[in-house]
Structure 1
Amino acid sequence: MEKKGTIARRSLAGTPRAGPSGEGSLETLPDDVVVEILVRVPDVADLFRCAATCKRCRLLIAEPSFLRRRWPEGVSHLSSLLGLFAVQQPREEPTEGDSTAAPMPPFTPVPWCSLGERYSFLTCPWPPDSQAAVLTSRRGLLVLRFVPLNEPTNGYEKTMNLALYDPIAGKGRDLPELKSDRPFQIEGCALLTRADCCPDETRGATSWSFFKVLIIGGDRDEPRHSLHVFTSTTESSSSWSTPRECYDSLEDDDTRVVSQQTTAVVCHGGIAHWLFKNASNLYALSVCARTTEMTLTRLPVTPDQTQPLLGVNNDGTPCLLRLDGKCFMLEIWTRRIDPMSGDSNTGHWHRTKMIKLQRPKRGKIDQAQCVCVGQTSGILLVKDNQEDMYIVDLQTGAMQAVTNWFRGIVVMAIPFEMDWPEFFTRHLANTRIERAKLGGVL
């Protein structure tokens, strides 16, 4: 028996070649029937191909009600994860003539990636004599930092060059130079789009029309961090805001606070959250993108070898994910908001859920560490002391070995996730489909 998705693809594939009598033509079917066919198309690239068959399909797919049904809000969608930008080290020293001597692609697509072979080795552009580093990813966009190859650096600089890049469309926008009077390094980065900061406005607006980039810079000589904010405008003189100190000394503790999670998680209301730690405590640093108000909350969890990470609950609130060392259980800590305070940045953290992990039957997992978490795909990437990699489904606790996805030891990774409703609205809401191809389907 054929799957529903196969039937849907065949039904729509034959519509442009309908006979003179109209038999088999899409025009003979009512809208609600066509919608039922379209909503059952499982592959994103196939759905985009359906939108290219005729104006009627394009308008039906671009309808907000259809997109909400296809990708319900508050539900994790594995298809949103297209791959990971991973910093990798070779598993062994390459020998002459060995294939591992070739440069490793920074982008690792997941097997179910809808982009097609055209994007199997997605790369980022960079100026001559420079290399690009991915700082964060949000809704199919990247924030890149360009590092000169001929200038040795320890990560601390007074001037940094950044850019916003859309790897699907293949276009980018340079940001103004990020400058400081003192050498600093980037310990936190967040990207917020119009959908994050202005959710009530039209979703079809271009991603370049409005966005914010938040940078947390760590001072080289003093234990302090500063917040830098860039807001896109139509003015050519746009620049970074005056740096603001994130926090003073913590609880009379002079121990240096360092970033545990460079890529921020972004929650409802346009609030970015980072995880920091010192020798004895974990802290959540929260910044409201609209007001740049900052709060620092000490978490009731002590730092350990499992390297906990911040994530996002289905209701858009932040959570903390922590594995036990043997990788048998996953703890989820959630911040409970006091409704009387009127402040969404305050609240107490409590352990609200324990998920028993369904480990692979073969192999031994020991001393597992969290690597990164997908905000919309509902996955957690972990590795063990043997450098084996696993993906954890945060809803079911199922674990899948994914070591063969990578060509080396993963040091860090940034998930590349796509907001499909925003993508479809942006490309289909106009009178004609933009020529930007999705996996070569047009």
Structure 2
Amino acid sequence: MAPRNHGRNSICAAPGNMAPLLLPADLMLEIIARTDLVTLIRCAAACKRLRRDILSQSFLRRVIRLQPRILSYLSIFGDPHWSIHRVTAAAKSFCDSHLSPLMLRRIGDLFPYYIPVTSSGGIIVFYRLQVERMRPQEMHHFDLCVYNPMTGDPTFLSKSHLVLTSGTYTHEYVLLTAADGIDYSFMLLIIYISMWSIKVHTITSSSGGWRTVTCASHCNSPWRSVGRYSDAAILHGGIVHWLVVVDHDTQILAYDVSTGMSGVVKLPPTNCNASQLHLATSPDGKRLKLLAIDGFMISVWVQLPTVLAAGSSGWALETVIDIEENLRSLYPSLRAGGGPDIQVQFKPSGKKSSDVVLLRVHGRGNVVLDLETKEVHMHYLCSILLEIDLQSHLQSMKVFS
């Protein structure tokens, strides 16, 4: 007798002439819920019906809430090595058994000649080093590689002529992804601030080449001396902010990738210099946050909505965090109160939201500070932060059927 058809509540896998194997959908989800992350992601790509069930709020609250993000520091010297923040067995297994082997298969031959320069939304940008003794057969034609570790897909790009013609002036790379509210899987910006203007070159996952947008300097006055600090903070919709120093005055410069317009955001009342400030965003990416460190005290400021900012500085002090005790757990010889020879500063990390920051303890080393748990961990040099939002990846991935 033929097996009974369970209809919509069943998932069928019957290749060739084999008898169909019918499982109730709820039983299939129970099996998936007990598997590892690699299997869950593969199941979500198997068919539209199964992905819809996996992406249901009830299933996500049950499974993904235990590991909604994978936050790790990637070192590519030798084999790829992942130092996972908030280590769980699932995250470690996923990185070791899936991400590292996939990366070695797809772009492992690039590691001797490429270094990571920025990352965002689970995507990494690699830049080709100029190695004098590199053999011709080892030279890669392209200068940049935008790589998605979740899919293993690399996109190779040539240099923008902005970099080739900028002379001794410095430039920086800013990476936007679909999580920032843009219509592409990625948008790479090369930002060059000269004395008279901001020049921005952009390239997207679907464009054929670099596009140039030039924005005049603000206040109708030239910038005689410009220095940049911290990572870019990107609000949802593609509005990039970063700290700049103009004639010894620290400011927040804003640039809208959709309009090409730039502007300035006033700082909150803090006496810290630029190296003691760090720009980030709220977890939802809708508001700016500014972190200021003075000694061992970190002040966290959040930007107010426009309607509330009228008549004020536009910022509200959210919290103040004392990190001295936690730092002393790593460096017992720290002097009480910091001492004149101890200074803690922020370092770029690639992290957009303000829940995790990278700090430099002068004369000691670098540490990762979790502002939610107040925990600190050693951070090793020559690595880059990779943050993968599993729910966002599952929602945007393609399905086979």
TM-score (norm 2): 0.69
The structure-2 alpha-carbon separation of the partners of 1:85 and 1:189, relative to structure 1 and needing over 3 Å to count, comes to: farther
- Mapping of residues 8-87 of structure 1, within 5 Å: 27=23, 31=26, 44-45=37-38, 47-48=40-41, 58-63=51-56, 66-67=59-60, 79-84=69-74
1:349 and 2:315 equivalent?
Answer: yes
The structure-2 alpha-carbon separation of the partners of 1:210 and 1:380, relative to structure 1 and needing over 3 Å to count, comes to: closer
1:400 to 360, 376, 385: 376
Amino acid at match of 1:355: I
For 2:137, the equivalent position in structure 1 comes to: none
1:215 and 2:215 equivalent?
Answer: no
- Following superposition, the deviation at residue 252 of structure 1 comes to 7.2
1:163 and 2:179 equivalent?
Answer: no
TM-score (norm 1): 0.64
Q: Which has the higher contact order (CA 8 A, sep 6+)?
A: 1
- Following superposition, the deviation at residue 216 of structure 1 comes to 0.7
Query: Matched residues in 2 for 1:37 and 1:361: separation?
Result: 45
Deviations 1:164-219 (A, max 9, x none): 222343331223530034425553322223342358xxxxxxxxx64322221244
1:189 and 2:153 equivalent?
Answer: no
For 1:284, the equivalent position in structure 2 comes to: 252
For 1:205, the equivalent position in structure 2 comes to: none
1:367 and 2:343 equivalent?
Answer: yes
1:172 to 145, 148, 154: 154
Unaligned runs of 5+ in 2: 1-12, 14-20, 134-141, 335-341
For 2:126, the equivalent position in structure 1 comes to: 144
Q: Is the 2:70–2:84 Cα contact (8 Å) retained in structure 1?
A: no
Match of 1:259, SS state, is strand
Match of 1:423, SS state, is helix
- Mapping of residues 381-400 of structure 1, within 5 Å: 381-396=358-373, 398-400=374-376
Q: Is the 1:272–1:287 Cα contact (8 Å) retained in structure 2?
A: yes
The structure-2 alpha-carbon separation of the partners of 1:291 and 1:245, relative to structure 1 and needing over 3 Å to count, comes to: closer
Deviations 1:393-441 (A, max 9, x none): 2223x122325xx3xxx3x75411112123223457442xxxxxxxxxx
1:334 to 299, 302, 320: 302
Query: Matched residues in 1 for 2:371 and 2:45: separation?
Result: 35
The structure-2 alpha-carbon separation of the partners of 1:388 and 1:64, relative to structure 1 and needing over 3 Å to count, comes to: same
The structure-2 alpha-carbon separation of the partners of 1:229 and 1:68, relative to structure 1 and needing over 3 Å to count, comes to: farther
The structure-2 alpha-carbon separation of the partners of 1:216 and 1:184, relative to structure 1 and needing over 3 Å to count, comes to: farther
For 1:424, the equivalent position in structure 2 comes to: 394
The structure-2 alpha-carbon separation of the partners of 1:71 and 1:117, relative to structure 1 and needing over 3 Å to count, comes to: closer
For 2:240, the equivalent position in structure 1 comes to: 272
Q: Is the 1:378–1:393 Cα contact (8 Å) retained in structure 2?
A: yes
Query: Matched residues in 1 for 2:259 and 2:317: separation?
Result: 29
Q: Is the 1:144–1:163 Cα contact (8 Å) retained in structure 2?
A: yes
RMSD: 4.4
Query: Matched residues in 1 for 2:260 and 2:188: separation?
Result: 12
Amino acid at match of 2:278: L
Match of 1:359, SS state, is helix
Q: Is the 2:223–2:247 Cα contact (8 Å) retained in structure 1?
A: no
Amino acid at match of 1:61: I
- Following superposition, the deviation at residue 244 of structure 1 comes to 0.7
The structure-2 alpha-carbon separation of the partners of 1:108 and 1:372, relative to structure 1 and needing over 3 Å to count, comes to: farther
- What fraction of aligned residue pairs are identical, expressed as a percent? 24
1:110 to 70, 84, 100: 84
Deviations 1:232-286 (A, max 9, x none): 436xxx32223414525897773x111112x422222222222222463322222
Query: Matched residues in 2 for 1:323 and 1:163: separation?
Result: 35
Unaligned runs of 5+ in 1: 1-15, 17-24, 87-102, 152-159, 200-208, 342-346, 432-442
Amino acid at match of 1:299: L
Match of 1:395, SS state, is coil
Deviates more, 1:241-250 or 1:225-234: 241-250
